[in-house]
Chain A
């Protein structure tokens, strides 16, 4: 199985900050990578797919990059609604990263 490792596990930041979350795959997944946002008690929401394509309706402050085994999700200017947990998923064999909780500093 392909293992997905996210870092950091927890990230403390303030409104307006630029933040980056990293996701590493144990073997190449090309660009078969998606990012999801999850808020407490809710289902995940698709943000980014194909490593860098923004899902329709998702604010442009979210962006993704990467290829192969290393990927990043960047939020250019944090908004109050962005404090949540973020997961990467490779959709070759579908494993998820362990999640990154984005907290208010």
Chain B
């Protein structure tokens, strides 16, 4: 059974960084890319970027360039999202999701709420 299990909620101060993990179960981790999607409270879905779980190559949305880093550990089947220089409007649920190259995102993690508050 395919599952993506994310780390728990975080509260961070403005200017800090946050690192969210996403552990994959039930499939060959390196066959799929991991994408990250943000959803601010009451708002829509916003694509942040993706990492090639096999080779580690990344592609980030322009909006997040310079603030976001996506990494993975193939020995543990875990992907990571790190977002720096946090602002109040970064408060959101962050989702990881898997996607086979050429196909759609087909499974999602449960989401991780990151709250930016002083």
Contacts and interface: CB of A to CB of B under 8 A. Distances in A.
Interface of A: 1, 34, 36, 38, 43-46, 49-50, 55, 87, 89, 91, 94-99
B44 A98 contact: yes
Interface of B is mostly: strand
Interface stretch (B7-15, B23-31, B76-84, B103-111): B103-111
A46 B95 contact: no
A96 B44 CA distance: 8
B44 A94 contact: no
Interface of A is mostly: loop
The 5 closest A-B pairs by CB, nearest first: A43-B108, A49-B104, A34-B104, A94-B47, A96-B45
Interface of B: 35, 37, 44-47, 50, 61-62, 95, 97, 99, 103-111
Nearest to B4: A43
Given A46-B105, A89-B47, A91-B99, 10 more contacts: A34-B104, A36-B105, A38-B45, A43-B97, A46-B107, A89-B105, A91-B105, A94-B50, A94-B61, A96-B47
A44 B108 contact: yes
A97 B103 CA distance: 18
A31 to B, nearest CB: 11
Given A43-B95, A94-B35, A49 B44 contact: no
